[in-house]
Amino acid sequence: MTMRVSNQMQFSLSIDTVNRRRSELIRIQEQIATGRRINSFAEDPVASRKILREQGTLRRTESWARSAGQAQVLLETSDSVLVSVEDALGRAYELTIQMANDSYSASDRQSAADEIEQIRERVVELANSERNGRYLFSGLGNVAQPFLLDGTFQGDTGRLSVPVGRRASLDATVGGGEPFLDQTGGRNTVETLIELEDALRASDSTRISDLVDEVEGARDRATDARQQIGQRLQRLDNIRDALDRAEVAANATLVQERDTDVADAIVKLRESETGLQAALSITGRLDDLSLLNYMR
Amino acid sequence: MVSSIFHIGQSGLRAGRTGVRVASENVANVNTPGYHRRVTVLQASRLRQVGNLRLGLGVEVRESQRVVDEALDRRVRSSIGQAAAQSSRSDVLDRANVILGDLEGAGVSSTLDEFFASLDLLAASPEDRVSRSNVLASAERFAESVNDVGRNLRAMRQELDPEVEAGVDEVNRLAAEVASLNEKISSRSRVSNDLLDRRARLVDQLSETVGATVIPGRNDVWNIAIEGGYTLVSGSQVQRLSTRPGVDGFVRIEGIDGAGTPDLTDRIRQGQLGGLLVARDEDLGATAQAYDDFVTELVNEVNARHSAGYGLDGVTGRNLFAPPAAVNPAENLAVDPAVAANPDAIAAARDPALLPGDNRAALDLAEVRLDPLASGQEPPDALRQVLQEFGDRAFAASASAESATLAADQLTNLQQSVSGVSVDEELATLMQFRQQFSAAATVIQTADELTREIIGLKG
């Protein structure tokens, strides 16, 4: 059955078609011009959510990378401080071995004692190093400088832990006093040096020989701590790699979900233009197709 | 005998003239909305016995009939109501989109991320004044962006009040006109096509405004009901709608009937008015509620952890944000005044003996972002869920607006196909009746000649 076609019907149909084509065209033009496939939640709720999630991932990754950077600064500074501590205690160890030998006189030992005193001052100074307002070896509380010249430890044994990932944290410091304290409850490094200085001043060979192992132990604690820091810096590298990878992945998803595929959009633009031209030419012809044109 | 030929010719002239007139009227109304084309209905006149023959006396013009398919008109009317509802809903949600749907990194989603990032920074250097001030600044920015969204959502809904009121006025105006046309139509003995067209057009407009159903009554009266069974027009009577402020501050619509003044706000779901109400109460209402819930839950969690920690000054038990308000918590969110001016009050430590270096409370706070809220989602994801649900609504509204408009267009086309004017057709009809007119004139001329013949015979 043929359908009656009224004039209103014909015109409104072609106007609707033209309008629809035009809005389609404008949308594609906007996508190309802005480089964004979607601009709001209403256009594609699922993709929009992904976009926000990836933006969140990027910001979070950036924040963790910044914490990791701070941890790195603290760890690297601790390491270089401990290198100096190692050197100083190495010298103390040499002196101890040397002075344990009976061939040295009391005056030799006296000057050795002076040097040990300087070493102690140097070690205390190093142990009290700070970076960015934090004592490297005073533990978590950072209440006061960790060591006094008499060997009193004023810190705590905690560590500063910083967030570097999803439920992942990294210790940015060694345990408070750890490179200097004896884990079995014996003398700490500063006290050992005081004891050594005393023994030297007393020129007591037996006491000096007895201290050889202890001084070596003090130096080894610094070495052990450096090793621990080295491992942690290694882990930090891995963490940073992982954060970088997460950033790259998030950026890739972001581009895919958010950005216009220009090649694809241009093909669509062509299609849409052709459609609009067709709709316009049909509308233009409506006028010719009337009985009026065939009446005298 | 000859006089009857005159008579017949005359009836043909009349028919031709009427036909041309009707066709002209159709052509004149080719673009008139709501116009139903007319057709001239002709009928051969009754036969008469003339000698041995039964002969007619010409043609009778029965009527100029309005071409209408009532069932189709009814479907068109309801589709208009649906399309209008979906379009106005979608328009409102498109506007709200701007408030919520920022994808370029601004907005609450980013201030929330930055707030947590500032806590990461605090955890890395709890003794640092700069990182503390940074937490305060980020918390304030987060609160402000939350305020903006809360405020704009409410303003958006509030701004619909005048539109709702205007819609109600429009309904009352249209209803009054329909009632008065009902009265005119029922009081006439003959049906007037133009009154019927006008009334049908008004009811279409009523349907576009509020969604209207026609219940035909006696004497061609149309009673009008809106959704939920509320009778708006009954014969020549109108039960007007009115508005009043609601308890939540948004305008409500009520009717009037024998029993009182029923609240119709939740029943009106068709037409522009229905679309506005759905957008305001269901879509934006749900979004605002979800948003408020999210803010309340998040802030309570942050506060619980913050108040367990110690500030640099050794004081514990302080909230970071002022406890969320019971009403409009998003709009009223603020950093707690006790903390706002005092970076030392930020609680980063778990153990007051380990001040200032203890960062464990700060770590706890930063972990809020990873700990699921009651919805089972981590806070940033819970926020995105709120946004996505809104996006889903806006997306669905726009899709159904498109399809409802398409359906309405298709039905309107069908209706046009039945009742619309085709100029080509009318031009053909015009020629047809003009020919009839010429032919009838020839008949009269012939009758005249016959008469002359007879007169000549006598003479």
Q: Is the confidence at residue B459, as pLDDT, over 60?
A: no
Predicted pLDDT of residue B258: 79
Q: Is the confidence at residue A288, as pLDDT, over 70?
A: yes
Q: Are strands B222-226 and A168-171 parallel, antiparallel or unpaired?
A: unpaired
Element (H, E) at B332: helix B329-332
pTM reported for the whole predicted model = 0.87
Question: pLDDT digit string (tens) for B171-213?
Answer: 999 999 999 999 999 998 888 899 999 999 999 999 999 999 9
Q: Is the confidence at residue B429, as pLDDT, over 70?
A: yes
Q: What percent of chain A has pLDDT over 90?
A: 77
Interface probe with B: pick from A1, A41, A53, most Cβ of B within 10 Å: A41
Predicted pLDDT of residue A200: 95
Q: What percent of chain B has pLDDT over 70?
A: 98
Which residues in A lie closer than 8 A to residue B109 (C-beta atoms)?
A: 52, 55-56
Question: pLDDT digit string (tens) for A53-70?
Answer: 999 999 999 999 999 999
Lowest mean pLDDT among A35-49, A130-144, A147-161, A220-234: A35-49
Q: Are A161 and A171 in contact (CB under 8 A)?
A: yes
B412 to chain A: nearest residue by CA? A9
Question: pLDDT digit string (tens) for B209-257?
Answer: 999 999 999 889 999 999 878 999 999 999 999 999 988 889 999 998 8
What one-letter code names the amino acid at B459?
G
Predicted pLDDT of residue A291: 82
Closest CA to B279 of B158, B108, B169: B158
- Which band of pLDDT confidence, cut at 50, 70 and 90, is reported for residue B267? very high
Average pLDDT over residues A22-34: 92
Alpha-carbon separation of residue B1 from B14, B305, B454 (angstroms): 20, 114, 12
Q: Are A85 and A123 in contact (CB under 8 A)?
A: yes
Q: Are A67 and B123 a contacting pair at CB < 8 A?
A: yes
Which residues in B lie closer than 8 A to residue A131 (C-beta atoms)?
A: none
Mean per-residue pLDDT of chain A: 92
Question: pLDDT digit string (tens) for B402-427?
Answer: 999 999 999 999 999 999 999 999 99
Chain B interface includes A90 (CB < 8 A): no
Predicted pLDDT of residue B41: 94
Q: Is the confidence at residue B70, as pLDDT, over 60?
A: yes
Q: Is the confidence at residue A289, as pLDDT, over 80?
A: no
| Phi, psi of A240, rounded to the nearest 5 degrees | -65, -40
Q: Are A169 and B363 a contacting pair at CB < 8 A?
A: yes
Q: Are B391 and A70 a contacting pair at CB < 8 A?
A: no
The burial of B17, by beta-carbon neighbours within 10 Å (0-12 exposed, 13-18 middle, 19 or more buried), is given as middle
A48 to chain B: nearest residue by CA? B103
What distance in Å separates residue A72's CA from the closest CA in chain B?
A: 11
Predicted pLDDT of residue B411: 94
- Which band of pLDDT confidence, cut at 50, 70 and 90, is reported for residue A132? confident
Q: Is the confidence at residue A119, as pLDDT, over 90?
A: yes
Predicted pLDDT of residue B458: 63
Lowest mean pLDDT among A33-42, A182-191, B78-87, B198-207: A33-42
Mean per-residue pLDDT of chain B: 92
Average pLDDT over residues A106-119: 95
| Residues pairing with A134 in the sheet | A131
Q: What percent of chain B has pLDDT over 90?
A: 82
Predicted pLDDT of residue B416: 92
Which residues in B lie closer than 8 A to residue A133 (C-beta atoms)?
A: 125, 127-128
Tokens of B158: 């509030």
Q: Are A180 and A86 in contact (CB under 8 A)?
A: no
Q: Is the confidence at residue B359, as pLDDT, over 90?
A: yes
Residue A160 is nearest to which of B357, B412, B418, comparing CB atoms? B357
**Chain-centre distance for alpha carbon A41:** 31
Which residues in A lie closer than 8 A to residue B417 (C-beta atoms)?
A: 3-6, 9
Give, rounded to a whole angstrom, the gap between the first and last alpha carbons of chain B.
20
Q: Are A48 and B101 a contacting pair at CB < 8 A?
A: yes
Residue A6 is nearest to which of B93, B94, B416, comparing CB atoms? B416
Q: Is the confidence at residue A126, as pLDDT, over 70?
A: yes
Question: pLDDT digit string (tens) for A168-182?
Answer: 999 999 999 999 999
Average pLDDT over residues B434-438: 95
What distance in Å separates residue A123's CA from the closest CA in chain B?
A: 23
DSSP codes, B76-141:
HHHHHHHHHHHHHHHHHHHHHHHHH---SS-SHHHHHHHHHHHHHHHHH-TT-HHHHHHHHHHHHH
Predicted pLDDT of residue B337: 94
Half-sphere exposure of B399 (CA within 13 A, CB side): 10
- Which band of pLDDT confidence, cut at 50, 70 and 90, is reported for residue B1? low
Q: Are B117 and A62 a contacting pair at CB < 8 A?
A: yes
Predicted pLDDT of residue B105: 66
Question: pLDDT digit string (tens) for B19-58?
Answer: 999 999 999 999 999 999 999 999 998 888 878 888 888 9
Q: Is the confidence at residue B2, as pLDDT, over 80?
A: no
Lowest mean pLDDT among A2-16, A132-146, A236-250, B240-254: A2-16
Q: Is the confidence at residue A116, as pLDDT, over 80?
A: yes
Predicted pLDDT of residue A135: 94
Question: pLDDT digit string (tens) for B282-315?
Answer: 999 999 999 999 999 999 999 999 999 999 999 9
